Structure 1
Amino acid sequence: MDDIAVVRTGSGPEVLLVHGGAGPRTTWGGLSALGERWTLAYVHRRGYPPSPAPRAGQDFEVDALDLAPLLAGRPHVVAHSYGTLGTLAAVAAAPGGVRSLTLIEPPLAFLVPDDPDVARLLRVGDAVLTHGMDSDPAELREFLRLAGAPVDDGPLPDAVIAGVRRAQGARLPGEARPALDHIRRARVPVLVASGDHAAAHERMCDALAIALGGERAVHPGAGHFVAAAPGFADRLDTFLRESET
């Protein structure tokens, strides 16, 4: 398979940025100032130009294969949403390949199996990833709002429709079972962050931080796109610097 694209800016130790359903510019715009201290390596997952299109739908197992060689230089890794699934699989296979791991609102419902809010988010998300624009209209808008899309009561923007179509047919997040114990045993420094906009995300992040023995951060103000929230860039910078020692 053709290699994915990685665009690097800044200088200093490398921070590999792995986006989720939105592209790198939308996901990581709030971190641009960190380029003064760090090399920001923007991964473009398959289906997000200039990377090639996936052969089938979005697939976190393919993401893991794409990310594996990018760990050779032992970067810090920051991943968001669906992008955390391939990231966790790649890091679990080679936990010595990262300096630190930051995970933002990962969709890991299996960590909180009896929570009704988590179960609903999983069900609605699965429906949208399976049926796309043919999903129940109310559930589609509910999921899009939770995913940070600019949605009101009017017609869906063209860019949002394109994103839904790109996501349709993706491997469902509920299939992911990353070997979290491998990461914890390797003592990888971990930060788990959320935006305090949905109970389901908060509970999954709480459970993941416990499972990995990681730090926990909550930064409201930007919904699902926590990297743009007030204070997050500074918090991440501090975590990265502490992980360098």
Structure 2
Amino acid sequence: MSEIVVVRHGSGPEVLLVHGGAGPRTTWGPLAPLADRWTLAHVHRRGYPPSPPPRERQDFEVDALDLAPLLVGRPHVVAHSYGVLGTLTAAGAAAGSVRSLTLIEPPLNYLVPDDPEVARLERIGDAVLTHGMDADPIELREFLGLVGASIGDGPLPEGVVAAVRRARGTRPTSEARPRLDAIRDAGVPVLVASGDHAAAHERICDALAGALGGERTVHPGAGHFVAAAPGFAERLETFLRESVTRRASSSR
């Protein structure tokens, strides 16, 4: 398989940025000022040019294989939405290979069993990933709203339609079971972030932070695209700096 493309900007310790269903520019653009002090390494997942298309479908297991060689230098990793699944799969297989993990609103619905809102998020999310534009129109719009798409009341914008079509056939999020125990046991510093726009996302993030022994932060104002929310970039940088200090102290 051809290698994926990683575009780097800035100087300083590397921060590997792994996007989800939206591309790197949409997801991580607001973090650009951090390049004055950090090397921002923008991963382009398969299907997002200039990386090659997937051979069959978007798949978090394939993402994990793509990410594995990028972890050799022990970067900090910041991942969003579907991109968290591949990130955690890769990190769980080699937990000592990441300096820290920042995880933003991942679709790890299994962490909150018997919750009707989380169950609905999983059901409609998997339906949209399976059927694309052929999914139930009401559920499609509901899901798009939950994942931050700007859709309004009229016809879906061309860019949104293109994204839904690109995602069709994606491996369902309900199949992901990353090795969270391995990451926690390795003592990896973890920050779990959400945007306070949907109860299901908040509950999943609470559960993930608990499972990983991580810190929790909430930044309203940008919906699912938490990186654009007021105060997030500052909180992230504080966490990255504290992670460097913490790991250095623990290794003495």
TM-score bucket of the superposed structures, by smaller chain = over 0.9
Render the CA deviation track for 1:40-97: whole Å, top value 9, x for unaligned.
0000000000000000110000000000000000000000000000000000011111
Task: Supply the AA of the counterpart residue of 2:94.
Answer: A
Which residue type is aligned with residue 106 of structure 1? Answer: P
Shift of 1:30: 1.0
Specify the alignment match of 1:118 in structure 2.
Answer: 118
Aligned residue in 1 for 2:160: 160
Counterpart of 2:175 in structure 1: which amino acid? E
Q: Secondary structure at the match of 2:16?
A: strand
Give yes or no for the alignment of 1:185 onto 2:185.
yes
SS of residue matched to 2:56: coil
Opposite residue 42 of structure 1, the aligned amino acid is H
Amino acid in the other structure paired with 1:30:
P
Cα separation, 2, equivalents of 1:116 and 1:241: 38
Instruction: Name the residue aligned to 2:209.
Output: 209
Equivalent residue pairs, number: 245
Corresponding residue for residue 134 of structure 1 = 134
CA-to-partner distance for each residue in 1:117-146, whole Å, 9 max, x for gaps? 000000110110111101111100000011
1:13 is aligned with what amino acid? P
Does residue 21 of structure 2 align to residue 21 of structure 1?
A: yes
Matched, 1:85 2:85: yes
Measure, in 1, the Cα distance between the counterparts of 2:51 and 2:158. 21
Aligned to 1:151: 151
SS in structure 2 opposite 1:78? strand
Q: State how far apart, in whole Å, the 2-side matches of 1:112 and 1:243 are.
A: 28
CA distance in 1: counterparts of 2:161 and 2:57, whole angstroms: 16
Give 1:37 shift.
0.7
Q: Which runs of 5+ in 2 are unaligned?
A: 246-252
**2:126 match: secondary structure:** helix
Paired position in structure 2 for 1:231: 231
Cα distance in 2 for partners of 1:115, 1:108 equals: 13
Q: Structure 1 residue runs of 4+, over 4 Å off?
A: none
Q: Which runs of 5+ in 1 are unaligned?
A: none
Distance, in Å, in 1 between the alignment partners of 2:196 and 2:114 is 20
Equivalent residue, structure 2, for 1:32: 32
For 2:42, the equivalent position in structure 1 comes to 42
User: Is 1:171 the equivalent of 2:141?
Assistant: no
SS at 1:188 equivalent: coil
Q: Taking structure 2 as the reference length, what is the TM-score of the superposition?
A: 0.97
Post-superposition CA distance 1:7-39 (Å, at most 9, x none): 000000000000000000000011001001100
User: Equivalents in 1 of 2:206, 2:147: separation in Å?
Assistant: 19
**Root mean square deviation, CA, Å:** 0.4
Identity of aligned residues (%): 79
Residue 47 of structure 2 aligns to a residue in which SS? Answer: coil
Query: Which amino acid counterpart does residue 131 of structure 1 have in structure 2?
Result: H
**1:56 matched to which residue of 2?**
56
Amino acid at match of 2:136: D
In the aligned structure 2, how far is the partner of 1:56 from the partner of 1:26? 25
Partner AA of 1:174 in structure 2: S
- Aligned to 1:117, the other structure's residue is in SS state helix
Give the TM-score normalised by structure 1. 1.00
State the shift of 1:108 in Å: 0.4
